[in-house]
Structure 1
Amino acid sequence: MIVGVSRERTPTDRLFSMASVPLNLVMALLENRGRPAPRPVSMTAPTRPADMTFPEIVREARTVLPGARPRRRLFWRYTLVWRHP
């Protein structure tokens, strides 16, 4: 299973992005009630900017991993599930 982020380019990407902004703020408020703010992930794990759009990821996954199930998620993420046949 892969949980990743994709680059925003298509109208669908922008729609998911617009829906994620207010939800992201609400989640941040709910998660941090009375607790100190967590350290940014970029300080604890290596990261790099997303360089592929979701349709590109789907196309590549289906070529490399036949039968993979990519799903677009909120908060700029996607999941990709593949089971070895």
Structure 2
Amino acid sequence: MSYDYAPPPRFEDQATPPKRTGRHPVNIGHLVMGLAFLVFVGVWALVETGTVVVRSIEDLRWLLPLPWIVGGSVGLLAALFRKS
């Protein structure tokens, strides 16, 4: 009696996949949100230490967009350098 197929390869006979080395690509979304969080903490620290005096909510109108501006510009730079 003959068989028309080869038996499946054994686990021991399979070649091991090459080990991945090196750096992994940076997730730009995580980078932007992490930087925005750090800048928010920095703004909070400036207000709490009294470095920036906030008498009313109107005084914060120039501080609150800073995290988004910093995070967005770093994200754009990371995307620009990632393509090249």
TM, length-normalised to structure 2: 0.31
**Greater share of helix residues, 1 or 2?**
2
Larger radius of gyration: 2
